Chains A and B, each alone.
Chain A
Amino acid sequence: MRLADHDLGTPKGGGERVSLVINGQRVEAQSGDSILRAALEADIPIPKLCSTDSLEAFGSCRMCLVEVDGRKNPVSSCTEPVSEGLVVRTETQDLAQLRRGVMELYISDHPLDCLTCSANGDCELQDVAGQVGLREVRYQAVSSHTQEAKDESNPYFTYDPSKCIVCSRCVRACEDIQGTFALTIEGRGFQSRVKTGADQFFDSDCVSCGACVQACPTATLMENTVIEQGVPDRSVLTTCAYCGVGCSFKAEVKGDQVVRMVPHKDGLANEGHSCVKGRFAWGYAQHQDRITEPMVRESVNEPWRTVSWDTAIDFAAQRLKTVRERYGPQSIGGITSSRCTNEEVWVVQKMIRAAFGNNNVDTCARVCHSPTGYGLKQTFGTSAGTQHFESVSQADVILVIGANPTDAHPVFAARMKKRLRAGASLIVVDPRRIDLVRSPHVEAAHHLALTPGTNVAMMNAFAHVVVTEGLVDEAFVRARCDIPSFKEWLLFASSPTNAPEAIATQVGVDAETIRAAAREYARADRAAIYYGLGVTEHSQGSSMVMAMANLAMATGNIGRAGVGVNPLRGQNNVQGSCDMGSFPHELSGYRSITDDAVRALFDDDWGVTLHHEPGFRIPNMLDAACDGLFKGIYIQGEDIAQSDPNTQHVESALSQMDCVIVQDLFLNETAKFAHVFLPGTSFLEKDGTFTNAERRINRVRPVMAPKTGMAEWEVTQALSTALGYPMAYQSASEIMTEVARLTPTFSGVSFELLDEVGSVQWPCNSDAPNGTPVMHEHEFVRGKGMFILTEYQPTEERANRKFPLLLTTGRMLSQYNVGAQTRRTENIRWLEEDVLEIHEADAETRGIQSGDWVAIRSRMGEISLRAKVSDAVAEGVVYTTFHHPMTGTNVITTDLSDWATNCPEYKVTAVEVTPANHRSPWQQRFAERHSEQIELLPSD
């Protein structure tokens, strides 16, 4: 596709139709459109520099001047709205002279180095200078900025002020699109310069989202890869492989090398915006640590042998067969990956069910959003969020619970912040003072900094306020919900034990604040809940999801734009991997494996007889392995030895298996326990689809051929065939056709449709051929919305004298999950190690200062890391991340998990923190094993 987007100058007006006359030609537009947009939409060119259709008109460059009948002077067409009957001229001699005059001024303060400029051929200033026909610059400039020094502090882009035309597009993009306000113009008049508020970009508030670079019309803000490699020559539309926002990108390519990733304006998940990960942190795909050839070994203490694909597949198949023969049909299983495509996941779960002959398939959603799947299915009838992202722009009150969108879902957070700046009210329920609580131009009306583990008590108190203060939307409940269950819930919620006053001490938030927040949510015309792993990763994760669903139903906040219950899903395809039937108890589309009719459909299509009982969940597999009953596992793109709780238990389980097959880009922590390593493909090599948190199915298109020589689905297919269940797909598209055939919510989905319309949100079928942005509009998927009682049960994990602090974990903007990708990019410069945030008072009583080494000990284990004294956490709470394997954060997390889904309770661990002067024993063992295992890699 073409490189440069067609830019329409100003945002869409969206009003009623008006017609005007431009250069004698009748042009249709919408009220609210600018003259500039109307002209450009009609392919009437008008030169412009300071305007771009992602930003409101600014009117500074004066290039887009036009003549309008009845107006004495020319007007800037970007700031002038269309109106019925307007008569406009865009090309007159007078305008031409003015435009040339303005351009002559620009060039009088611009270096004349186009031929050696990194933007040569991709520069709006250059284009417009040509367009207006500038032929000479007559000014003998005395003052100029052409000698100003570059700022090369950011690892991904360079700021070269000598080329700046002070159009403020970067400043406006940082403010209006990203909402960080890291940039400003300093000085005034001729001295106006773009500045960061710090000495250089790297030290500023800049979050490297790339919006400024994207907005810059010249080479002033330019990707370093373009400076190094030159302007790309073609682009491929694809989808980011980081978080669950699922941003659309144009991979801009030269040969088969990616030069830059540019957020795609027409991508509905991100509408042209990006974050530091998707925009810049894709270099891991070419990292030297990447393994591209299959490897096998007899035991984990032996060196790896690089082998051919055939050998590796045979080796793996033989081992699995041997294990199955020796230990029985339930002794093997597999884990699908939320980072892989729907098509890749589909064939893995199919292989396990059809070729392994059991339902021992699970997915990493087990450890993140399984309670979402469970809770929303029970109450609403389907395991997914209710809204599209755009919906947040219509919310009046936004309730964020246990999520940190600015770090973990930055592109969605930018949308949310835009809405907040426009006046929506914000309530944050989180133990930690996340950035949303207060950052430039955003301030939460209420921050309920509750004690970790008390979510359900808090939500029940909200419910209590709603039902006892007459805030129930009775009409909605009557029309849309299951009345007997509502009546029971009413009784439950109104119980004095759920009153804010009754639980205030327990949750650590005063009753009046809880009441005020609950009232604000309930009274809003449109109130939306957004939540993350701070909701699900608890022993009552499923209860909490249902408690939120109850609240939303009781207040009528379901089934419209601006409302809803919305999980912010962690990984790029965690929604899709669940949709594809990765859970041991469910086939695709969340249909029970115990349902004979559903199974029959698959039996028939696949030519097998599926096992009728649910298989093992991940923790079951690990427990069974420790008991010697589970001996073989196929793990696709997942690093359970780093990401799953109680690392020592995971390590012990893996050590006891006879056949561990890991399919990944890198020798990850789990691969150190593996016998077969099947090299995986990065998203730049994949062909398929990802489904994001808003159920949007996006295309992933290959930019280059697989570096491994085989697509991942081809590898799985070969293994399945070697195991005796042949598969013979010719393409990823063919796999999606099978998904659509067997899954009612996907029946309308095909690559052809996606290539045509860009993306669709499931359900996409004959009832909704264009997909479903907002769910449960007229009735719930399950019919009537079901209220479910959510009695608060405190977690067994409690602070006591020995472990007086509560540890909660999360992530940082620059890093992603276990860090396997982001640590292998320049993003590492923003977080070189995981640190422990601790409140000043807790630090002081322990004699701890920022930068000190501390030991953190739980009932499970001990690790050491550096402390950071911070007021972001409350007294009694400590916080860290798990981005670095050496940290071993999950050495100390517990075995406790959600009662319904076994989702681990990562968010609450009782710990003690003490000053330390050495790494913990586990960390020392880890370091040893790490160097041993690296030694065992082929020397190449």
Chain B
Amino acid sequence: MDATLTIIEPFVGQMGGSISALRAIMAECGWIDDHAIDTVAEQFNLSRAEVKGIVSFYSDFRVEPPPARLIQVCQAEACQARGAQRLTTALELEAGITLDARDPTGTLELKSVHCLGLCAHGPAAWEGDTLYVGLSDTDAGALIGSTCEGYSIQDVGKLDVEPPEWLADQERLIFRRMGNADPLDLEAYCEAGGFQYADLPSETILREIRESGLRGRGGAGFPASIKWDTVAAEPSQTKYLVCNADEGDSGTFADRLIMEQDPYLLLEGMALAARAVGASQGYIYLRSEYPRAALILREAISRWRARPELSQTLSIELFIGAGAYICGEETSLLESLEGKRGLIRAKPPLPAKEGLMGQPTLVHNVLTLCSVPWIVRQGGASYASFGEGASTGTMPFQLSGNVRHGGIIEIPFGLPLRALIERYGGGTLSGRPIGAIQVGGPLGAYLLPEAFDTPLTYEAMQAIGAGIGHGGIVVFDDQVDLVERARAAFEFCAIESCGKCTPCRLGATRGEELLKAIQRDGISEDRIRLLDDLCDVMERASLCQLGGMTPIPVRSALRPAIAAFESDNEVQGR
């Protein structure tokens, strides 16, 4: 039989099978040639154009032969705060090639990747089965010469470290087992109280969630119970539960850690959610940049499946994405899970009413679902007793960037930002004063020192034009080039835009060009006005939050430069 056919066959008839098949071809052959495209089209009954459309959407796919070696170097904010740019330049010099340049005759390629979830230990890189952390420009020679020490993605055991002292004093509701248990030991998980409540009536679970005040931890902070109640009330026979594990935000890694260290917690959360809303099929949409989490989840699902008394009411499949930040947006994720280009869908209809394959679908982030077992066990009211106001419960903040101690800090909402950095982070790594803090991922605001006393609640952050997002906190010292950060924000949007809506498709590129002009020729009144108009259009006219929120880091990062320009002008004008 045709070798390509053999690779593809297991995925025919699977949800999103076309993407999984293309991933398998990439894994096997290193690239996707015309024959592979035709074979996928034939097997999945798609047109050739559609398959090419899919292939060209995801950055993991390539349509030319691969180099002998491919090193992916993280370019996202947290790694940037720790010297990723210097590392990249050193690598380019050492190898004599340019980042992201494709050379068909070359033996080595350097490819940018936006976040491997190793933010607390950046700069990070990835080659083959090995992940590298804590790199600096002096490691360039070793990395190119294959003598650098990394760790294997196959290493799926328990974290062999006691949580350091500076990470103590947390309220770990979600991360309580992290580092204390073998992640794949299902017996131990059950003995510790896991999967004991799987036969609760749907109404009870719904009520506890309602009382907990749990809000979606993916970024939007939308009250979970509204989604749950909506899906539960839909009369459809087929309903889906989808776990959004496409943790693409730079500076965030809580999903990765919980999936690697306590995968059954996620499965239990999904089982309870599925039970509550009446779904019998669940999917975990995991980003491809988390190879170790994939291995662990796959094994965990298989062990859990082998225990029908735990898993009989829900089937869970693991789906691996193919390199697209936008697929962390729930409608784009659903498109991708259906095996298509990850274009944003207009809402309405809401996924809770018409989601995966047009059926009612509960889509939640990993942390949201991982909060569920504790809530159901201890009661929604207990959960709501943590936090402040409408920001109930705990949030695993992820501290990274230019800090001495990065990591997970799970605490109730409400601690001021400065307190969090001081108590847990131990100041900057460089020893210089903090210059800016980006809260909430690449689309989060750059907060300047005057805002550091803001309490970490949804409401307080919103009041200063910022957001908690997925809880990523990236620290920069006072050497930060904020104009460059603004340019990088547009660049990120341009790279990751799905291309559907005009403000994002064209606006991000024009924005980056405009910032480059400012970097080159300086700021001017016309440029400020154009930038402001562009930000308005993106913010208010974009189809989704990628285009809609890109102005947040841009505007916040440019505030000092614009203020300086305006005060200069005022001085001159006088």
Contacts and interface: CB of A to CB of B under 8 A. Distances in A.
7 contacts: A101-B536, A102-B541, A143-B513, A184-B47, A188-B497, A189-B497, A189-B498
A59 B500 CA distance: 8
A141 B510 contact: yes
Interface of B: 41, 45-53, 56-57, 324, 326, 341, 346-348, 494-510, 513-514, 516-517, 526, 530, 533-534, 536-537, 540-543
Contacts of A97: 533, 536
Contacts of B502: 60-62, 102, 105-106, 165
Interface stretch (A76-84, A307-315, A402-410, A919-927): A76-84
B510 A108 contact: yes
Interface in A15-68: 57-62, 65
Contacts of A181: 46-47, 49-50
Interface in A732-760: none
Given A101-B536, A106-B502, A440-B50, 20 more contacts: A58-B500, A59-B346, A59-B543, A62-B502, A65-B541, A74-B541, A94-B540, A97-B536, A105-B507, A105-B537, A108-B510, A139-B513, A168-B500, A182-B49, A184-B50, A186-B56, A189-B509, A190-B509, A440-B45, A442-B45
Contacts of A60: 500-502, 543
B540 A139 contact: no
A106 B48 contact: no
Given A79-B346, A143-B513, A186-B56, A204 B45 contact: no
Q: Range of interface residues on chain A?
A: 35 or more
Contacts of B56: 186-188
Contact of A138 (B51, B503, B526): B526
Contacts of B508: 189-190
Contacts of A183: 49
10 smallest A-B Cβ distances: which pairs? A197-B49, A184-B53, A59-B346, A192-B499, A101-B537, A189-B497, A181-B47, A79-B346, A197-B48, A184-B49
Contacts of B499: 166, 185, 187-192
A829 interface: no
Given A59-B543, A60-B502, A61-B502, A140 B53 contact: no
Contact of A101 (B51, B57, B501, B533): B533
Given A101-B536, A105-B502, A441-B46, A58 B346 contact: yes
Contact of B45 (A98, A139, A186, A443): A443
A180 interface: yes
Given A186-B52, A195-B53, A139 B46 contact: no
A208 interface: no
A180 B47 contact: yes
A928 to B, nearest CB: 45
Contacts of A197: 47-53
Contacts of B509: 143, 189-190
A198 B49 CA distance: 7
A659 to B, nearest CB: 54
A248 interface: no
Contacts of B526: 138
B505 A190 contact: yes
A57 B498 contact: no
A186 B57 CA distance: 7
Contacts of A443: 45
Contacts of A190: 494, 497, 499, 505-506, 508-509
A205 B50 CA distance: 11
A441 B541 CA distance: 33
B47 A79 contact: no
Contact of B496 (A59, A139, A165, A189): A189
B495 A189 contact: yes
A93 interface: no
A192 B530 contact: no
A168 B509 CA distance: 20
A181 B340 CA distance: 13
B541 A141 contact: no
A61 B346 CA distance: 12
Given A184-B52, A187-B499, A204-B49, A98 B537 contact: yes
A139 B53 contact: no
B501 A59 contact: yes
A185 B341 contact: yes
Contacts, number: 159
A196 interface: yes
Given A101-B536, A105-B503, A188 B341 contact: yes
Interface string A660-679: 00000000000000000000
Contacts of A205: 47-49
A182 B41 CA distance: 12
Nearest to B526: A138
Contacts of A441: 45-46
Contacts of B47: 180-182, 184, 197, 205, 440
A188 B322 CA distance: 14
A81 B349 CA distance: 9
A438 interface: yes
A73 interface: yes
A48 to B, nearest CB: 12
A197 B540 CA distance: 34
B357 to A, nearest CB: 11
Contact of B505 (A73, A76, A192): A192
Interface string A167-184: 010000000000011111
A142 interface: yes
A165 B505 CA distance: 10
A833 interface: no
A840 interface: no
A440 B537 CA distance: 38
Of B324, B516, B526, B530, chain A has the most CB atoms within 10 Å of the CB of: B530
B49 A57 contact: no
A479 B148 CA distance: 86
A109 interface: yes
A442 B496 CA distance: 32
Contact of B49 (A65, A104, A195): A195
B340 to A, nearest CB: 10
Contact of B513 (A59, A140, A192, A438): A140
Interface in A429-462: 438-443
A531 B517 CA distance: 66
Contacts of B50: 181, 184, 197, 440
B17 to A, nearest CB: 14
Contacts of B536: 97-98, 101
Contacts of A62: 501-503, 541-543
A207 to B, nearest CB: 12
Contacts of B496: 189
A187 B499 CA distance: 8
Given A180-B47, A186-B56, A105 B324 contact: no
Contacts of B49: 181-184, 195-198, 204-205
A102 B513 contact: no
Given A185-B53, A188-B324, A195-B53, A139 B346 contact: no
A281 to B, nearest CB: 24
A451 B383 CA distance: 71
A106 B498 contact: no
A314 B517 CA distance: 85
Given A109-B506, A188-B57, A102 B497 contact: no
Contacts of B501: 59-62
B41 to A, nearest CB: 8
Contact of B540 (A59, A73, A189): A73
A168 B502 CA distance: 12
Nearest to B58: A188
Contacts of B48: 197-198, 204-205
Nearest to A59: B346
A197 B526 CA distance: 42
A529 B49 CA distance: 32
B497 to A, nearest CB: 4
B506 A105 contact: yes
